[in-house]
Amino acid sequence: MTLEKEPTILVIFGGMGDLTWRKLAPALYNLLVDHELPERFAIIGLDVKNDSLAEFRLRLKDGANRFCRCGGVDEENWNNISGNINFLSGDFADPAIYAALNERLKAYEKKWDSPANQVLYLATPPGIVETIVKRIGSARLADNEQHVRIVVEKPFGHDLASAVALNAVLTKVFDETQIYRIDHYLGKETVQNILAFRFANALFEPIWDRRYIDHVQITVAEQVGVEHRGEYYEHAGVLRDMIQNHLMQILCLIAMEPMVSFDANEIRNKKVDVLRAIRPTLEDQVQQLAVRGQYGAGRINGHKVPAYRAEPSVATDSPAETFAAIKLFVDNWRWQDVPFYLRTGKRLQKKLSEVMIQFRPVPHQSFPTTATMAWQPNHLIIYIQPEEGIVLQFQAKQPGSILHLSPVDMHFSYQETFKSRLPEAYETLLTDVMMGDATLFMRADQVEASWSALTPILNASENIISADFPNYLSGTWGPEAADILIAQDGRSWNHSTLEENEKK
């Protein structure tokens, strides 16, 4: 079915910025090549930098060229869009730029002889968001609830209080249905597939609870350091940068109850239920339930890399964490007392995002002990990136006259099965905003519930002395305390990749 695409104008605040260059430009170009953009489509870039239209077009083209999954920009395709790329420069606090924007929007609608969907994308630093929203409100650019949408990037607030305040500013100008809070993890195919895996199959749901599941691990490990984002990271740290949003959202998809329909609000209601059921971590328990770390110098893929404290714009005695591991519980009938271990960090040994579900042991071991030396519990591993697939580990009898059981794997790989590269998260998310589908975006209450769940850990972290920082070497799996966190429960982190499992 071809969905009808209404005329659309994408307005990018922060048009010359890093996000536009690295993520939006390549995503838009891929959508163009795949004929996913509306026929009548225009981009209006806004930036405080005093650049020219030609420079803006070049910047977008360069971003598309470098980062698109299509392998480079084709001139003919580019020419199809380049004429509809516009640029306005000015101060975002100055009403003049909003008046100029309004004129440009109206001119397009006049030219197309049709109202257009207007997607106002805030690809700006968080500090300016409130000002932009207020100015949009004063310029009456948000009044058309049906056609105007705003996209707000993370970080969405710095803590619960600031998130509530930001939501208040946004909802004063926009209706909640117009607000699209992005968490790009939700746009990843492998993350979206969690719902399909759980609810489009009859096999897994009956065993998806505390009776059969021993624990869940959610890992997002990165090899990169903070790169050029030291200034932001000094204020954020990994708890705010990754756990509050990406890892919590994955947790919701794993733990939520089946939705009644695929309606955006129905799915989001089910996710909020999970966040609200997270057991409050008492501040005096934080030391037992959470570990923070910061990378020291080390080697990644054989290359020397500097310590976090030696990165640009980072204080030499910085207390910011670049690694965190936490243990959470979801207090409801399904999950009571099943630990969810969340772990993420920068400069770790491998890039690896995955969810591992470990099932309980069989209730009675009827095989002789000699047969079960290599026995392992069943595991289901959902590989999110860079490899994309699912592995189910179970026991099999090794061929031979002596009875030996050993774990074996069943594999599903996206690349092997679907033979094509998966769309980037931003392609999916941009398409959804243009179509007015908010399923993959966060609602105000979701963001607030997630901050609420994390608040005790954030508060306590601020008081936990980071005297032992840096406490892990770049190129390792993080601080020893993270291994202890899980080992004290008689468990261990999974580090195996899809490829390693395939080779076993």
Interface with ligand BG6, residue 222, by CB under 6 A:
yes
Torsion of CA 15, 18, 20, 23, to 10 degrees: 180
Please, which residue, 210 or 351, has the CB nearer to ligand BG6? 351
Please, which residue, 8 or 244, has the CB nearer to ligand BG6? 244
Q: Of 299, 177, 159, 138, nearest to 235 (Cα)? A: 159
Helix or strand run (H / E) with residue 365: none
How many residues make contact with ligand BG6 (CB under 6 A)?
2
Please, which residue, 36 or 241, has the CB nearer to ligand BG6? 241
Please, which residue, 56 or 185, has the CB nearer to ligand BG6? 185
Scanning residues 238 to 257, which ones bind ligand BG6 (CB under 6 A)? Answer: 241
Contacts by residues 413-422 (CB-CB < 8 Å, ≥ 24 positions apart) = 413/387, 413/388, 413/389, 413/498, 414/189, 414/190, 414/388, 414/389, 415/388, 415/389, 421/69, 422/188, 422/189, 422/190, 422/388
Q: Of 413, 387, 421, nearest to 33 (Cα)? A: 421
| Strands in 161-245 per DSSP E | 179-181, 213-221
Q: Say whether 246 is catalytic.
A: yes
Residue with the shortest CB distance to ligand BG6: 241
Scanning residues 304 to 333, which ones bind ligand BG6 (CB under 6 A)? Answer: none
- The CA distances from residue 148 to 9, 39, 177, in Å, are 10, 18, 10
Question: What is the C-alpha separation between 178 and 19, in angstroms, rounded?
Answer: 22
Q: Of 447, 497, 502, 420, nearest to 189 (Cα)? A: 420
Interface with ligand BG6, residue 427, by CB under 6 A:
no
Please, which residue, 47 or 183, has the CB nearer to ligand BG6? 183
Question: What is the C-alpha separation between 86 and 340, in angstroms, rounded?
Answer: 47
Q: Which residue has the tokens 């999110």?
A: 384
Strand partners, 11: 44, 120
CB of 209 to ligand BG6, least distance (A): 29
Interface with ligand BG6, residue 36, by CB under 6 A:
no
246, 364, 379, 495: which one is catalytic? 246
Helix or strand run (H / E) with residue 493: none
Strand partners, 43: 10, 85
CB of 223 to ligand BG6, least distance (A): 10
CB of 21 to ligand BG6, least distance (A): 15
CB of 227 to ligand BG6, least distance (A): 8
Please, which residue, 241 or 388, has the CB nearer to ligand BG6? 241
Binding site for ligand BG6 (CB under 6 A): 222, 241
Could you list the active site residues?
246
